Amino acid sequence: MATNIEQFKVNLATYVEQLSQVDAALTVDPENEELTKLKTDLAEVIELTEELIRQNAPANETQQAASAESSAASGTQTERTWSSGDKCMAIWSNDGQYYPCTVDEILEDGTCSVNFEGYNQSEVTQVSSLQPYDPARAKETRNKLVSVCYISDTKIFTL
């Protein structure tokens, strides 16, 4: 039974990450019906998976299940509390990859505003999708991010 619970937790972490990516994509295209449907479906799958974990947890773990699910979903043992000014890695909505940034503001709805390092590009993303700042990874990705300016319906890419 413990093996099933562990697999459910691994699946839950995957679903939460996928939901975060869909949320990021919806910030760029909020009217996309397919993404909206996918978000609804993923939320339902997450809820059902959390219920499976609660139902299959031994009695002495039932109280700990909610915090364990949260830790499993983030892939860490302890939940990180982010603050304005913290350096971190966040998903850029245009390509779904993590880039170095700074937290500008934590919002009450579980999202935050981040500013990508060296690009003067800001986005709103899920706090749960933030990762700790990694200098090696930051250096590797520094030249990948491309600024996108929208003028009417035309995309103008600047390097």
Burial zone of 70 (CB within 10 Å; 0-12 exposed, 13-18 middle, 19+ buried): middle
The percent of residues in the chain predicted with pLDDT above 90, rounded, is 13
| Residue from 95, 115, 90, 97 nearest 105 by CA | 115
Residue 140 and residue 112: Cα distance in Å, rounded? 24
Cα 155 to chain centroid distance, Å, stands at 25
pLDDT tens column, 97-108: 888 899 999 998
pLDDT at 3: 57
Phi, psi for residue 138 in degrees, rounded to 5? -60, -45
List, in order, residues 6 or more apart from 84 with CB less than 8 Å away. 103, 104, 105, 106
pLDDT at 104: 93
Least confident of 89-98, 107-116, 119-128, 141-150: 141-150
Residue 78 and residue 92: Cα distance in Å, rounded? 24
Are 90 and 116 within 8 A, CB to CB?
yes
Mean pLDDT of 98-126: 88
pLDDT tens column, 6-24: 777 878 888 888 888 888 8
Count of alpha carbons within 13 angstroms of residue 140, beta-carbon side: 8
